[in-house]
Amino acid sequence: NGKVLGGEPDEELLQAALKAWQQRKSQIIEREAGNYFALVIPRKCQLLIVGAAHISADLVHLARQFDFETIVVDPRGIFSNNTQFLTQPDHKYAKWPEEVLPDLPLDAYTFAVTLTHDPKIDDQALKLLLRSEVAYIGSLGSSRTHAKRLARLHKAGFTEEETSRIHGPIGLDIHAKLPREIALSIMAEIIRIKNQHL
């Protein structure tokens, strides 16, 4: 949380502590005046889902089993039927991504997916996510759909290096067909990325 205990730190000590936080590793910081311990306490991972589709409901259910905080954003206002979600998301917003995402902590503990198949919604979210430090960005769609998506983002000014962060087609290739199978493939890919980096 940025709180320093044990006296007034100097700028170099603060920078070393910040580096420990960025590396997400607790560590001893050696200084002439003595040693300090930078304790990094990771926050709960969050899964940000843009689009309240059938896959979203299964994905929320799976993510909660792995202790992810779940957030669902969909401006189409289809949350009135709560039976759609076997497990309710922690937070749900019937708003556009640009109205919600700037107020969320889009950091290394955030994993984001876009599932609407609607470029007006998904592209808006992707533009915000690509400018953030989220650990994972995935987008639903075939290889052809993904190529069109990348072309739109490149036309909007994003480089190939920037858009290479997007996992598309989304999820591990398990030949998924049913919504719950697609959700499983997405969650498996997210867990793989999480375990590699956190």
pLDDT tens digits for 24-34? 788 898 888 78
Coil, strand or helix at 34:
strand
- Structure confidence at residue 4 (pLDDT): 61
- Structure confidence at residue 83 (pLDDT): 47
Residue 7 has pLDDT above 80, yes or no: no
pLDDT tens digits for 116-143? 999 999 999 999 999 999 999 999 999 9
**In 3D, which of 98, 123, 129, 94 has the Cα closest to residue 111?**
129
- Structure confidence at residue 70 (pLDDT): 97
Q: What is the 3-state secondary structure (H, E, C) of 39-68?
A: CCCCCCCEEEEECCCHHHHHHHHHHHHCCC
Q: How confident is the model at residue 5 (pLDDT cuts 50, 70, 90)?
A: low
The pLDDT > 70 percentage for the chain reads: 92
**Tokens, residue 45:** 């991972």
Judge if 106 and 34 occupy the same domain.
Answer: no
Which residue range forms the structural domain that includes residue 31?
Answer: 1-41
Judge if 121 and 64 occupy the same domain.
Answer: yes
Average pLDDT over residues 169-183: 94
Judge if 62 and 156 occupy the same domain.
Answer: yes
